[in-house]
Structure 1
Amino acid sequence: MDKEKSIEILRIITGREIAYQKEVALSVQALTEDERSWIRQVVSGYDSDLISPYYFHLKNAQFERKANKENVRNELDVIRKASKKFIPQELIKLRDKKERENRGIENFEGIYIIHNLAKDIYYVGQSKGVFSRAYQHFVTNPSENSARYSHSIEWSLPEIYNDYRLGEKFNISLIPLANTSFSTLDELEYSAISAYNAFVDDGGYNRTNGNLINKGYFQNDDQENAANLILDRIKGKEIFSTLTNDKLRWRYVQSLSSELLLTSNLSFRANLVKRIKSYQKANKECNF
């Protein structure tokens, strides 16, 4: 590589970094000086000797899920038996809103349970609009040609598509959140993954246990309120839409923390990353 080309590349990289830092600075300017001062005070009050609230939540969630596993399976099996089971080809057709309207089918918030009949294994997913999401496992191989899936474990799931392409038979149950005893999609999905042994370690397709334990659990209410305040101010900024994976979210939160002059509270930063991710997922636009 010649010297002039190296200099040009360095100039481009430097220009991009300067532009990025300007965007971070704009995020900080959305906070008043009083708010910044309060956030610094709250974040600096971190006690590393305390056991993380996340640890307590994790252990409690794991205990409850194990204790309720059979009951959850029974509840969901009743709903599945009373509901239509779809084959992949039907879901692919019903991704179209007009097709659903012609058939009098409404999209809804809930989970979908994909059952590989040949292997008797499951995958559980969730969506604000299940008809807009469940079919996607059967139309493309994420590992080959979909940039949308390239940075996220939850979307990078070629195993289902590969098994479908090999001719294995599937049926899919779509379960409305409103028809269950659960209050949130995360709780329902988390419990259903366990109930159907859908986690990969149990022989299923799911690579994670769900979103319930992936949210941020802060050391105290003030730190949670500080994270929510930051999120409220940054969510409308242009840079927010570029935070499409955890690596980018981490970089942004690290830069934001430096710009805010926050102490090195890794727990707060990690939980803020999770809170941003959770917000983005919950507010992802659904093509109803």
Structure 2
Amino acid sequence: MLYMLTKDELSWIRCVLEDFEPGEISPSYFYKEKTEFARNQNREKVRKELDALRNKMRSYTPEELFLFKNKKERENKGLNNFSGIYIIHNSDKDINYVGQAVRVFDRAYNHFLANAGNDRVYEDFCLGNTFRISLIPLSITSFSTLNELEDNAIRAYDSIHKGYNKMPGNVMDKYIFINDEYQEAANLILDKIQGTELFSSLTNDRKRMIYISSLFTEFSLPENMHFKLGLLKSIKEFQKTNKKI
């Protein structure tokens, strides 16, 4: 697994991971609490920003989304497939669903197909409810990531309590380690395993944690759940970022 690590590197990692007290609260917890509070306080401002963008931009019917999933049809209308969020508005019930996609035209229409998106959106669509869908590019908003934009939009439209969303967006774009040495140790391990056949087989969190636990056992690393979770998330984020689209 980590045979490319030197004895000195392994010794340093062991030393770093020994500095852990079970029950210690992760910095990620405090960051998440602080961020969620700030976003909830900022909901009205975000709603105004997104409403202003929606009023300036074209909205689509579900039927138009089915049409424009085809690249040639989009090109004929001068439409680009961009990274952003989509806001599905039920005009009859005045409720919303907010989602994100790297390519919005490839994703938004799925909610109007059976077993492909939000089941409640599809149910109301089949009942004949009227829908309009707004597609908002990340690049023209005040936000820096899709996760940040989506979560703020879900909160702005209160689409969990008064809409179709079942869960909030992802608040944590990146895991926060207890200290810089933890981050360095995770980066060192990640650098050794990326590109290997084993690394490509870590396709879900269960497999990632099994691998990490076996790594700890094989190299007699001190038990450190905070680091294990951070390494798991680092592996997952690396794979997501470098995934071939």
User: Is the pair's TM-score, using the shorter chain for normalization, greater than 0.5?
Assistant: yes
Identity %: 50
Correspondent of 2:146 among 181, 185, 204: 185
State which of 65, 81, 84 in structure 1 corresponds to 2:39.
Answer: 65
- List structure 1 segments (4+ residues) > 6 angstroms apart after TM superposition: none
Residue 194 of structure 1 corresponds to which residue in structure 2? 155
Higher helix proportion (structure 1 or 2):
1
Aligned positions, number: 245
1:161 equivalent to 2:135? Answer no
The residue aligned with 2:223 is 264
**SS of residue matched to 1:100:** helix
Determine the structure 1 residue equivalent to 2:17: 43
CA contact (8 A) 1:80 1:175 kept: yes
User: 1:257, 1:207 → 2: CA distance?
Assistant: 36
SS at match of 1:38: helix
Q: Could you tell me the TM-score, scaled by structure 2's length?
A: 0.86
The one-letter amino acid of 2:39's match is R
What value does the CA root-mean-square deviation take over the aligned residues? 2.5
| Displacement after TM superposition at 1:179 (Å) | 0.7
Partners of 1:209 and 1:228 lie apart in 2 by 29
Q: Aligned equivalents of 1:165 and 1:241: distance in 2?
A: 40
Conservation of the 8 A alpha-carbon contact between 1:94 and 1:100: yes
Distance 1:284 1:204, change over 3 A: farther
Counterpart Cα distance in 2 of 1:35 and 1:101: 53
Asked whether 1:120 is paired with 2:94, we answer yes
Question: Higher mean Cα deviation, 120-129 or 70-79?
Answer: 120-129
> Residues 1-288 of structure 1 correspond to what in structure 2 (within 5 A)?
25=1, 28-29=2-3, 31-48=5-22, 50-142=24-116, 157-199=118-160, 202-213=161-172, 215-286=174-245
Following superposition, the deviation at residue 64 of structure 1 comes to 0.8
- In the alignment, the residues of structure 2 paired with residue 193 and residue 163 of structure 1 have an alpha-carbon distance, to the nearest angstrom, of 20
1:192–1:50 Cα change, 3 Å: same
Structure 1 contact 113–174 (Cα < 8 Å) conserved:
yes
Contact 1:141/1:162 (8 A) holds in 2: no
How does the TM-score come out when normalised to structure 1? 0.75
Q: Which structure 1 residue ranges, 5 or more long, are not aligned?
A: 1-24, 143-155
